[in-house]
Amino acid sequence: YTEWGRHAESTKCSEEAVRMVRQKVSQDRFLLADSLSLLVRLRLEQILGEVGEEAPPPLKGKEAERAARKCQKEAKEALICARDVEDKHMMGWLAWQLGEVELRLGGDIEVATEMAAKSAAAGVECHDTSLQAQAALLEAEIEFMNQNVAAAMQSAQRALALANSNCDQESEAMVLHFLEHMEESVSNEPSRAPQRQEEGEKAKPQQKAPSRKDFAGISSNLDADMRPGKLHGSKVDKESFMKVIAETALANVGLGTIDFDTPLVETGMDSLHGVALRNQLQSLTGRLLPASIIFDYPSQRAIVSHLVQQSEREQMAN
């Protein structure tokens, strides 16, 4: 039912599964934890209105308050069940879920912070990069709620790098959505943006989140040999890569020139601009690049060096 988007039926079946397991004298604690976890997710989606068109309308008023208390109680019970069976991996994911519930339903922010740390540790111990990414995103959401924009951005960038390292497109999309929400909130509420600037520090250009049209005209401005697809699978020298990156970077930040050794984040680029730059370079070169490219390879020269090395490895392999 969940896969079909039939929210009401899925919730009913999950409630029945939980009831049946609880009725047994010898409870299957693993199954109970799993059933409770699904039920918590379904309740959370309905409370927040994050479900499809065929789902029941979002809960409101006292009904929503009762559902929130039930959701928090079930999330805690699920985590206890996972502890009982000593499943560290499940404990990590259920700790993350409890943190999400506490954060999103206006619960205890200290509990949410503790759960984020525990889920991150479990992700490392169990070698689950997706769990680490989700834990880092939860940390970013908590920091942003506490109006610590710089720390929120740092955690979000870490989440993005983790998601990208594991080709986790779902987590990457969630991080980018959060970054867009954060940037929009900061622009609408200047008081949330960092106001302090070190004496003598140059003001960085204010950038807005990139959209599809930000790179719409780039290809037409490049030489014929530099247009999308023309660099795919070919051996390209350093000068060719430098030209491509200069075109895309300048179009991104809206500056006249950028020194090739200047870190791109110092020009006003952030994670969203980095992803947009990555997408354009992938289209032009046909080479797989990380979403965290401006943090992994901070300057244009570093990006060029990485692309040249990729090209050389491909030529040697062929």
DSSP 91-143: HHHHHHHHHHHHHHTT--HHHHHHHHHHHHHHHHHTT-HHHHHHHHHHHHHHH
- The runs of H, that is alpha helices, within the chain are 7-23, 29-48, 61-84, 88-104, 109-125, 129-145, 149-165, 169-188, 218-221, 238-253, 271-285, 293-296, 300-317
Q: What is the CA radius of gyration of the chain?
A: 23
Task: Render the burial of 206-244: b for 16+ CB within 10 Å, e for the rest.
Answer: ebebbeeebbeebbeebeeebbeebbeeeebeeebbbbb
> Residue 235: which pLDDT band, with cuts at 50, 70 and 90?
low
Query: What sign for the dihedral angle of Cα 243, 245, 247, 253?
Result: negative
By residue count, the chain amounts to 318
Higher pLDDT, 59 or 161: 161
Backbone angles phi, psi at 180, to 5 degrees: -65, -45
Higher pLDDT, 1 or 70: 70
- What pLDDT does residue 223 have? 41
Higher pLDDT, 307 or 221: 307
Quote the percentage of the chain above a pLDDT of 70. Answer: 71
* Alpha-carbon distance values, 97 to 40, 71, 118 (Å): 8, 11, 11
Instruction: Find the mean pLDDT for residues 244-251.
Output: 68
- What pLDDT does residue 199 have? 42
Of residues 147, 42, 47, 177, the one with CA closest to residue 105: 47
User: Is the pLDDT at 60 greater than 80, yes or no?
Assistant: no
User: Is the pLDDT at 132 greater than 90, yes or no?
Assistant: yes
Cα–Cα dist 246/257, whole Å: 9
- What pLDDT does residue 134 have? 92
Task: Render the burial of 103-125: b for 16+ CB within 10 Å, e for the rest.
Answer: bbbebeeebbbebbebbbbbbee
> Residue 226: which pLDDT band, with cuts at 50, 70 and 90?
very low
Joined tokens for residue 212: 């599809």
Instruction: Find the mean pLDDT for residues 186-211.
Output: 48
Q: Residue 199 corresponds to which amino acid? A: E
For residue 317, give every residue at least 6 positions away whose Cβ sits within 8 Å of its Cβ, in sequence order, or none: none
Torsion angle of the four alpha carbons 130, 134, 135, 140, in this order, in degrees rounded to the nearest 10: 140
Higher pLDDT, 172 or 293: 172
Higher pLDDT, 222 or 268: 268
Q: How many CB atoms lie within 10 A of CB 2?
A: 15
Higher pLDDT, 186 or 36: 36
